[in-house]
Amino acid sequence: MKNYFQFSERGTSFKQESAAGITTFLSMAYILVVNPVILSQTGMDKGALFTATALSAIIGTLLIGLMANYPIGIAPSMGINAFFTFTVCIGMNIPWETALTGVFIAGVLFMILSLLKIREKIINIIPQDLKHAIGGGIGFFVAFMGLKNAGIVTSNEATYVSIGNLSTAPTLLAITGFIITIILFNRGIKGGIFYGMVLSTIIGMVFGVIKPPQAIIGKIPSLEPTFGVVFNHLDDIFSPKVLAVIFTFLFVAFFDTAGALIAIASQAGLMKNNQIPNAGKALLADSMSTIVGSVLGTSTTASFVESTAGIAVGGRTGFTSIVISACFTVSLFFSPVLSIITPEITAPALIIVGALMATEIGKINWSNLTVAIPSFIIVIMMPLSFSVATGIALGFILYPISMIAMKKAREVHPIMYVLFVIFIGYFVYVI
């Protein structure tokens, strides 16, 4: 086992990987509650959605751990499930069965692109400065999510965002958890982020902020309402409206995953010579999990940026993913216990992880405005648009323009020009 996952080469151990896996799982566990709530608004069965969410996370995470040896958790994407529900099903009035079939087709296309190594090629030709910008931008995005979940940052009609009500019990719990985690982390305690979440949960229950679970073990809901539905609706995809939806699923998931993979590989110290080892296998595992997830009955899966919480604890190999997958398996039977893992509990981990990832922007060549400005747009637009894919798209549109303006058009890889055209089309015809 140690040899297969290269423990010695990556300077890790069973204890370190296990702590990392549990930490990532706790950071991701909210998806088991939130995904069914969002997707059930389309008319899908909430119980089946819970089981589909858990199983897709188990299978996808297991695949990327065993195939690519990466410490990454995979589960239904939060951004795409909202797009699936509110834009596709409710906004465009497309039945959930047809939309789910669109996810299946997008997953198959993903797998073809992965097998042809097109996805890997695109990721590897991205300029180094833009990769640092993607990693740093995701750091700001993750921290912003944490601040939002904690109630520290809230919406405001006049200023768009503003400071929240810091005197509410959930926000005070998040702040307390943040302080505890900072102390543990700065003291060099391994697993400080994980222990911080555990202590926050205990404090929350003691002071009545978090209700103790009413039961320990729950019955696993049936998959029957959603399982295999996609195979009965393949004829529904041949319309311009549905084809546009498939393209959007393809686009957003592609660059969400690419961004997460770049950020995770960089933070874990796995990136070498601007290349991500085993990127092809990681992307193939990701595409396979989307296919499996759609058959089970959930929207597009993706590599979770919350995986960086486990990396901060010391996760360096695919064994971390095995532990994450095992935790999701156990969660199928202990769903009532998961209800106590609130956004306020995981918020401190996201803020701290965001700070760690944001250090990537220090590696950008800020003295060279040709790459500095596109990099800045990537960094700033991820949190402001609340989308990793949108931030990447805007930066990739600006980069060729900047290079052409500086008479360096020949230094731009042809694929970057292709992406430039695709992104322009995306904003014109889809957004």
What is the secondary structure of 310-365 as a DSSP string? HHHHT--SHHHHHHHHHHHHHHTT-HHHHTT--HHHHHHHHHHHHHHHHGGGGGS-
Q: DSSP state, 87?
A: I
Condensed to tens digits (0 to 9), the pLDDT of residues 220-254 reads: 989 999 999 999 999 988 887 788 778 778 877 77
Q: Which two tokens stand for residue 291?
A: 């296919």
Q: Provide the b/e sequence for 172-182 (b: ≥16 CB within 10 Å).
A: bbbbbbbebbb
Q: Give yes or no for a contact between 321 and 70, defined as CB atoms under 8 angstroms apart.
A: yes
More confident residue, 217 or 327: 327
pTM of the model: 0.72
Average per-residue pLDDT in the chain? 88
Condensed to tens digits (0 to 9), the pLDDT of residues 393-407 reads: 899 999 999 999 999
CA atoms within 13 A on the CB side of 88: 30
Nearest to 150 by CA among 2, 343, 309: 343
Instruction: Say if residue 272's pLDDT is above 80.
Output: no
Nearest to 33 by CA among 359, 320, 343, 299: 343
- Furthest C-alpha separation in the chain: 66
Rg (CA), the chain: 21
pLDDT at 292: 97
pLDDT at 431: 58
pLDDT at 195: 82
Residue type, 81: N
pLDDT at 152: 95
User: Residue 154 pairs with which residues in a beta bridge?
Assistant: 162
pLDDT at 253: 73
Q: How far is residue 182 from each of residues 110, 145, 236, 268, 331, measured CA to CA in Å?
A: 39, 18, 52, 20, 28
Residues in the chain: 431
